[in-house]
């Protein structure tokens, strides 16, 4: 779930810094809610970091379900109405504005 979150944020123009900073920036830009920001930090990033950096650990079904639920909600925020989100991200300078042919244009 941590990897999914990081890739979705990168796809949305949050490319620099650690995952913590990408999540914070998406919330500051109002792309995700403050509640989702907190859950992403507490449930998704923390569990992913524990798995990535600590000794072997068993992930409980409850831990997985909680992480999965919030990753899914954030993905829905980012992709259910993607044209609107892309327009907002472009207005914020997070994503390049593209012409109808798909190439970036000067904005």
Helices (H) and strands (E) in the chain, counts: 6, 0
Does a structural domain hold residue 82?
Answer: yes
Does a structural domain hold residue 105?
Answer: no
CA dihedral 85, 33, 49, 20 (to 10 degrees): 80
Place of tokens 């909600």: 73
19-28 vs 2-11: helix crossing angle, rounded to 10: 50
Does a structural domain hold residue 75?
Answer: yes
pTM score, two decimals? 0.81
Instruction: Tell me the residue range of the domain where 82 lies.
Output: 2-91
Query: Mind listing the pLDDT tens digit for each residue in 5-27?
Result: 999 999 999 999 999 999 999 99
Does a structural domain hold residue 80?
Answer: yes
Report the number of distinct structural domains present in the chain.
1
Does a structural domain hold residue 47?
Answer: yes
Does a structural domain hold residue 74?
Answer: yes
- Kindly report the number of other CB atoms within 10 A of residue 94's CB atom: 19
Does a structural domain hold residue 45?
Answer: yes
103 has pLDDT over 60: no
Does a structural domain hold residue 104?
Answer: no
Query: Mind listing the pLDDT tens digit for each residue in 28-78?
Result: 999 999 999 998 988 888 766 656 656 776 778 888 898 889 999 999 999
Query: Mind listing the pLDDT tens digit for each residue in 55-65?
Result: 776 778 888 89
């Amino acid at each position: 779930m941590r990897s999914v979150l990081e890739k979705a944020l990168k796809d949305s123009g949050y490319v620099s810094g650690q995952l913590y900073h990408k999540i914070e920036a998406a919330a500051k830009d109002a792309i995700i809610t403050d509640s989702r920001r907190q859950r992403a930090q507490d449930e998704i990033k923390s569990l992913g970091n524990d798995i990535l950096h600590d000794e072997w650990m068993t992930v409980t079904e409850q831990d997985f379900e909680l992480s999965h639920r919030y990753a899914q909600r954030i993905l829905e925020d980012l992709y259910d109405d993607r044209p609107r989100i892309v327009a907002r991200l472009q207005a914020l300078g997070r994503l390049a504005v593209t012409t109808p042919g798909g190439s970036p244009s000067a904005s």
